[in-house]
C-alpha cells in the first residue's frame, strides 16, 4: 500500500469540526471515524492492550507490547493498514471470540467513555441517525458504540474466526482504511440517502468523507478536554476488568514490571492482617503502604455480661475487604455475613465469615444468633459497585435488629481493581493489595434513631432505603434501584453468556 500522505493529500480543504452547526440536525445522518475523531486519542494501542490483558493475561500483554514498536512504525510511516494488522494479530491470535466479546461489553466502555472528543460528540449526539466507521475490529467497539453512544450502525474491520477462536488475521476486503473505508460506507448506504455529515481526522479518511454532503476534520490537539462518561445517554454503572488506568505504552510497561513486586507486597500485607493482633494491624499496614482513614465515632463493643445484643454495622460494598477494614478501624475483629465468598478468601480472612444460605428464614435466624454473640457486619447491596453509585439495599437486615449503625466505605486504587465478575474472585484481595498505595476510608455514621427502625413501626423497606440514602449522601454517591441481578446481566461471564442469579436470590431483593 502506498504512503497515505502521498495518496490522499491535500486534506486541509475540509473545514474544522468547530464550524459544524449542531442545531436542527434531528433528521440528519452523521458518519464519523473513531480514533482521533470520536475519541480524543489517536492511538488504538491502549484498547488493544486492555483486551490483551483482560482476556488473555500478562503474557499476551507482554507480546503486544513487544510488537507495538513494529506496529507503530508501519502505521505512521509505511502503511496504516499493516500497523493495524500487527496489533490485531498480537492481540487476538488464538483468543476465544467469547472472551473478546465479554471484554468489549464489560471492560472497554468505561475507558472509551472517558475519551470522547467534545466537538465531535456535540455534532454526533445532535444527529438523528449515527454511524461509526473505523479501522478497529468491529467485535471490539460495537458494544460500546451501540449501547452507550447510541450509534445506529457500526462498520469496522472484520477478523477471521475458526472454531470459536480468532486467528489473528483480517477478513476481506481487509482493514478499513482509505478506499476500503469508502467502499464499506457505499455498501452500507447503497439503498439509503447520502449521509449528511462526514467527520474524520486523517488523510486516509478523505475517501469516505468525500461521499458525504458535508465533511469536517478534527484537528490533532493533545490539550483538548474529553467529554467524560457523564454526558453519555446511558450511565456506566457496572464495569469489569482488573486495570484501573488506560494502558498506554508506558503504563503497560509499568504494570508488567510491577506485578511480581506487587504480588510479594500483597502477600506481606495479607500476612500482617492475618497474623498480627487486630489492634496492631492498622500500624503494620500503614508501614506497608496501605492508608486507612477513619471518620466518625463508632459505638463501644457490646457487653455480653449485661445481655446486650450486638450492633449490626450496615456497610456500602466496594470490595470483599470491606468487613476487614471495618474491623481494623474498630481495632477488634467483627464477624461478617456474606452471600458468596471463595474458599481462598475464606481461608486468608482475619475475621470470621458466615455464609448465608439465601433461604430467608434460615438466614434471619442465623443473623439473630450471631447478634446475640456480639457485633456483626453486613453489606446489604449484595455485590460490589465501583462507580459512585449505591445499589439497592436488601431489606432483610432491618427486620432483625434495631441496633443499626450505617458505615460509609470508600477506597482508592491506582493500578488494579480489587473486584471482578468475570475472573477468579479468590484473587480479589490480592489485586487490591497489589496496588502501590491502596487506601480505604471508613466513616462511621450515627446509630439509627429508634423512631426510624422497624421496632417503631417503620417498614423494613423504608429503613433500608433511608440507610442507603444516608450513606449515599455521606459519600456524594447516587442511589439506584439496581440489584445484584442487574450487575450480572450487564457483565458477561467468561463463556460470553449473561450470568443469572438463582430465582430464590432474586426474590429476596426488596422492591423500590
- Confidence band of 305 (pLDDT split at 50, 70, 90): low
At 272 the three-state DSSP class reads helix
Cα gap 238→279, rounded to integer Å: 35
Cβ atoms of 172 and 144 within 8 Å: the answer is: no
Cell of 473: 449522601
Q: What is the CA radius of gyration of the chain?
A: 26
Distant-in-sequence, close-in-space partners of 185: CB < 8 Å, separation ≥ 6: 31, 131, 133, 155, 195, 208, 211
Q: Which of 324, 360, 355, 357 is nearest to 342 (CA)?
A: 355
Instruction: Say what the alpha-carbon torsion angle 258, 261, 266, 268 is, to the nearest 10 degrees.
Output: -160
Distant-in-sequence, close-in-space partners of 367: CB < 8 Å, separation ≥ 6: 312, 337, 376, 378, 396, 397, 400
Cβ atoms of 207 and 182 within 8 Å: the answer is: yes
Residue 80, pLDDT > 80, answer yes
Residue 500, pLDDT > 50, answer no
What's CA 111's distance to the chain center, in Å? Answer: 8
What's CA 106's distance to the chain center, in Å? Answer: 7
143-152, 406-415, 491-500: least confidently modelled range: 491-500
Give the residue-averaged pLDDT of 83-99: 96
Distant-in-sequence, close-in-space partners of 307: CB < 8 Å, separation ≥ 6: none
Residue 501, pLDDT > 60, answer no
Stated pTM of the model: 0.89
pLDDT tens-digit map of 134-146? 999 999 999 999 9
Distant-in-sequence, close-in-space partners of 305: CB < 8 Å, separation ≥ 6: none
Cα gap 311→301, rounded to integer Å: 8
170-184, 356-370, 431-445: least confidently modelled range: 356-370
- Confidence band of 306 (pLDDT split at 50, 70, 90): low
Provide the percentage of residues in the chain whose pLDDT is more than 90: 76
Q: Is the sign of the CA dihedral 95, 101, 107, 108 positive or negative?
A: positive
Give the residue-averaged pLDDT of 327-347: 86
Give the residue-averaged pLDDT of 214-237: 88
At which residue does the C-alpha cell 476488568 appear? 241
Cβ atoms of 188 and 155 within 8 Å: the answer is: yes
Amino acid at each position: 500500500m502506498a504512503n497515505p500522505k502521498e495518496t490522499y493529500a491535500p486534506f486541509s480543504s475540509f473545514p474544522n469540526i468547530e464550524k459544524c452547526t449542531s442545531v436542527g440536525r434531528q433528521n440528519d445522518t452523521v458518519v464519523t471515524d473513531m480514533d482521533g475523531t470520536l475519541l480524543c486519542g489517536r492511538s488504538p494501542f491502549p484498547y488493544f492492550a486492555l483486551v490483551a490483558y483482560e482476556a488473555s493475561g500478562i503474557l499476551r500483554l507482554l507480546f503486544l507490547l513487544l510488537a507495538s514498536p513494529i506496529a507503530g512504525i508501519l502505521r505512521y510511516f509505511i502503511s496504516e493498514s499493516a500497523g493495524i494488522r500487527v496489533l490485531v494479530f498480537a492481540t487476538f491470535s488464538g483468543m476465544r471470540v467469547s472472551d473478546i466479546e465479554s471484554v468489549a461489553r464489560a471492560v472497554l466502555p468505561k475507558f472509551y467513555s472517558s475519551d470522547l472528543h467534545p466537538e465531535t460528540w456535540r455534532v454526533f449526539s445532535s444527529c438523528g441517525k449515527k454511524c461509526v466507521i473505523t479501522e478497529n475490529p468491529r467485535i471490539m467497539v460495537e458494544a460500546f458504540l451501540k449501547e452507550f453512544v447510541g450509534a445506529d450502525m457500526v462498520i469496522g474491520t472484520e477478523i477471521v474466526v475458526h472454531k470459536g477462536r480468532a486467528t489473528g488475521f483480517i477478513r476481506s476486503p481487509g482493514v478499513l482504511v482509505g478506499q476500503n473505508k469508502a467502499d464499506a460506507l457505499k455498501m452500507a448506504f447503497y439503498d439509503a440517502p447520502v449521509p449528511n455529515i462526514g467527520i474524520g481526522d486523517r488523510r486516509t479518511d478523505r475517501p469516505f468523507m468525500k461521499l458525504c454532503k458535508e465533511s469536517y476534520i478534527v484537528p490533532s490537539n493533545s490539550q483538548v478536554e474529553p467529554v467524560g462518561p457523564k454526558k453519555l445517554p446511558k450511565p456506566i454503572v457496572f464495569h469489569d476488568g482488573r486495570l484501573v488506568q488506560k494502558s498506554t505504552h508506558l503504563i503497560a510497561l509499568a504494570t508488567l514490571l510491577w506485578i511480581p513486586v506487587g504480588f510479594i507486597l500483597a502477600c506481606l500485607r495479607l500476612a500482617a492482617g492475618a497474623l498480627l493482633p487486630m489492634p496492631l494491624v492498622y500500624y503494620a499496614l500503614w508501614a506497608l503502604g496501605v492508608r486507612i482513614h477513619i471518620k466518625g465515632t463508632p459505638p463501644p463493643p457490646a457487653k455480653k455480661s449485661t445481655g446486650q445484643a450486638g450492633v449490626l454495622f450496615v456497610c456500602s460494598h466496594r470490595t470483599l475487604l470491606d468487613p476487614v477494614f471495618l474491623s481494623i478501624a474498630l481495632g477488634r475483629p467483627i464477624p461478617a455475613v456474606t452471600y458468596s465468598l471463595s474458599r481462598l478468601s475464606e481461608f486468608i480472612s482475619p475475621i470470621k465469615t458466615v455464609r448465608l444460605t439465601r433461604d430467608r428464614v434460615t438466614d434471619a435466624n442465623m443473623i439473630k444468633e450471631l447478634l446475640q454473640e456480639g457485633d456483626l457486619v453486613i453489606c446489604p447491596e449484595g455485590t460490589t459497585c465501583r462507580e459512585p453509585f449505591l445499589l439497592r439495599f436488601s431489606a432483610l437486615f432491618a427486620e432483625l435488629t434495631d441496633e443499626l449503625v450505617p458505615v460509609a466505605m470508600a477506597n482508592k486504587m491506582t493500578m488494579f481493581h480489587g473486584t471482578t465478575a468475570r475472573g477468579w474472585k479468590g484473587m480479589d484481595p490480592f489485586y487490591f493489595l497489589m496496588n502501590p498505595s491502596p487506601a480505604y476510608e471508613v466513616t462511621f455514621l450515627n446509630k439509627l434513631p429508634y423512631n426510624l427502625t422497624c421496632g417503631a413501626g417503620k417498614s423494613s423497606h423504608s429503613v433500608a432505603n433511608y440507610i442507603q440514602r444516608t450513606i449515599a449522601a455521606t459519600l456524594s454517591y447516587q442511589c439506584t434501584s439496581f440489584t445484584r441481578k442487574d450487575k450480572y446481566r450487564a457483565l458477561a461471564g467468561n463463556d460470553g453468556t449473561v450470568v443469572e442469579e438463582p430465582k430464590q436470590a432474586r426474590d429476596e431483593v426488596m422492591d423500590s
